[in-house]
Amino acid sequence: MLERLWSMSQDTTIYVVGGAVRDAVLNKKTHDYDILLPEPGFLAHLASVSRALGLEPYALNLEHKLWRYQRSSAVIDVAPCGEGLEKNLRHRDFTVNSMALKLSDYLQGDLTQLIDPCQGRADLSRRELSPSSSSALRDDPIRVLRAARFMGELGLTPTLELNRQAESAAVALRQTPGERVWNELYRVTNCSNAPELYDWLDNVGALAAILPELEAEKGIEQNQYHSFCVYEHSRRAFAAYLNLWERSTFLSPNLQDKVRAELQGMDPRLQAICRLGALVHDIGKPKAKSFKDDGRVTFYRHEQVGAEMIPHIAQRLRLSGLESKALARFVRWHTYLAQLARQPRLNEGHLHRVARRLGTYSVPIALFNIADLLGKGEDMTDDTSFEQMTTAVSRYLHAWYYQHDEVIYPTLPINGAELSVQLGLPPGRWLNDMLSYLGEQAAMGRVQDRDCAIKLAREYYRRMPR
């Protein structure tokens, strides 16, 4: 879209600044542009931009006169140059984002005319991320999370000055609007090196500010089946989980392809939710910890306790309803397949039962069972439980993809209303339990027709506790 402003740039000084210039230096494509127009007559210049683009802008921040144009994936943010270009650049977040080019030079790819008062190009060549001023992160603490994002997306290393400022500014993230926090954090979470980025956030104090539930896990020792405290287990399971997203080598090639396609096809924010679920899966353990008479530690009902904590996290991060429910489901049912895998014989009824709990997020939650196991010790692949778990997960995913109508969601020959009539009972909680039971029986091939379903229902109802 910027090409449409060429004629206008012949008479008006227009600067391209920030990420678009940084990406030009890196020879990367971008669809996100920041441009500065002269302060005098700004609204008139904005009207000229609208005519040239054939679009109307909407206000992002009226106080700072920040406007946005958007068409498909292309975005142009427009603001006045204010007190001068150099001062504007020095007030930006990082040196690599504090470079500018005149629009005509940018469109021609002429980097010899780069305006670079903070030496951002030199930092890029050193692959370093440095704040543009001594107060950059204090001025806007969200830049701590943005720093982690740029470290992940651009492969940059933080300077000592950035670390110092991050440690000082991190605590203020507690007062930062949750939607701003999540907008940065979900992109950090989706980076391929997210475990290292979360470690950095932990080291500078940002993780404790935005997810204090993880801080509470530190030092919580576990039972004999775990080599690490709850927090160390969580971070190791998180790292293992992200590896499984890329390389689920324990699966057959056909299942690997299907799992990879499903995970990559998810909405990016829901991808991040599932990855975050892997990190926070055990947040209920500190509250649920207790001891048996023989001194052994237990975390009974930690899944339920953790799921009950999710609404507080969702409110803090301003997650959408869908995101909140997905995260709660992940935490609530993350151990369910592992529990059933210990059955002497895992049957199709068990697989159906798992699907009812995991629902839409069956694939990412099922996959996490492997990561959860890998996070228990140094090399769990040699443990006898590893083969048992990988076999169970493989069986479940095979049913999910290849036996969906027979095992995962079989169609019953009778609905709930008809079942109430046949048993002479008003609808109630019993009906949901009954339909769940019949679904399991159908998954095992025991429901041939309507009469068979009614017979099984009557027998089951007689055994149900009153």
The answer to whether residue 311 sits within a structural domain is yes
What is the per-residue pLDDT for 223?
80
The answer to whether residue 222 sits within a structural domain is no
Handedness of CA 231, 233, 234, 238 (dihedral sign): positive
Residues 6+ apart with CB under 8 A from 267: none
Assessment of whether the complete model's pTM goes beyond 0.75: yes
In contact, 197 and 191? CB cutoff 8 Å: yes
Q: Are 256 and 267 in the same domain?
A: yes
Tell which phi-psi region holds residue 119, choosing left (phi > 0), alpha (psi between -120 and 50) or beta.
left
Q: Are 353 and 234 in the same domain?
A: yes
What is the identity of the amino acid at 147? A
Q: How far apart, in whole angstroms, are the C-alpha atoms of residue 151 and residue 440? A: 48
Instruction: Tell me the HSE value of 323 on the side-chain side, using a 13 A CA sphere.
Output: 22
The count of structural domains within the chain is 4
The answer to whether residue 223 sits within a structural domain is no
CATH number at residue 59: 3.30.460.10
Cα angle 262, 238, 298 (rounded to 5 degrees) comes to: 120
Q: How far apart, in whole angstroms, are the C-alpha atoms of residue 466 and residue 152? A: 56
Q: How far apart, in whole angstroms, are the C-alpha atoms of residue 2 and residue 31? A: 10
Tens place of pLDDT per residue across the chain (466 aa):
888 999 898 989 999 999 999 999 999 999 999 999 999 999 999 999 999 999 999 999 888 899 999 988 899 999 999 788 999 999 999 999 999 999 999 999 999 999 999 999 999 999 999 999 999 999 999 999 999 999 999 999 999 999 999 999 999 999 999 999 999 999 999 999 999 999 999 999 999 999 999 999 999 988 877 889 999 999 999 999 999 999 999 999 999 999 999 999 999 999 999 999 999 999 999 999 999 888 888 899 999 999 999 999 999 999 999 999 999 999 999 999 999 988 878 899 999 999 999 999 999 999 999 999 999 988 888 888 899 999 999 999 999 999 999 999 999 999 999 999 999 999 988 999 999 999 999 999 999 999 999 999 999 998 888 7
Helix (H), strand (E) at residue 101: strand 100-102
Tokens of 12: 């008006």
Q: Are 274 and 394 in the same domain?
A: yes
Q: Are 115 and 140 in the same domain?
A: no
The answer to whether residue 331 sits within a structural domain is yes
Choosing from 94, 124, 154, the residue where a domain stops is: 124
The answer to whether residue 410 sits within a structural domain is no
Q: Are 398 and 253 in the same domain?
A: yes
What backbone phi and psi angles, to 5 degrees, belong to 78?
A: -125, 135
The answer to whether residue 225 sits within a structural domain is no
Q: How far apart, in whole angstroms, are the C-alpha atoms of residue 326 and residue 363? A: 13
Q: Are 340 and 439 in the same domain?
A: no
The answer to whether residue 216 sits within a structural domain is no
Q: Are 195 and 282 in the same domain?
A: no
Note the residue count of the chain.
Answer: 466
Q: How far apart are the first and last CA of the chain?
A: 69
Q: Are 307 and 371 in the same domain?
A: yes
Domain that holds residue 136: 127-210
Q: How far apart, in whole angstroms, are the C-alpha atoms of residue 457 and residue 418? A: 12
What is the per-residue pLDDT for 420?
94
Choosing from 379, 402, 425, the residue where a domain stops is: 402
CATH number at residue 138: 1.10.110.30
3-state helix, strand, coil in the chain (%, to 5): 60, 10, 30
Q: Are 260 and 191 in the same domain?
A: no
Q: Are 117 and 136 in the same domain?
A: no
Q: Are 172 and 234 in the same domain?
A: no
What is the per-residue pLDDT for 292?
86
How many Cβ atoms are within 10 Å of 176's Cβ, its own excluded? 18
The answer to whether residue 408 sits within a structural domain is no
What is the per-residue pLDDT for 404?
94
Choosing from 69, 104, 124, the residue where a domain stops is: 124
Q: Are 201 and 293 in the same domain?
A: no
Helix (H), strand (E) at residue 258: helix 253-264
Tokens of 295: 């001194």
What is the identity of the amino acid at 133? S
CATH number at residue 254: 1.10.3210
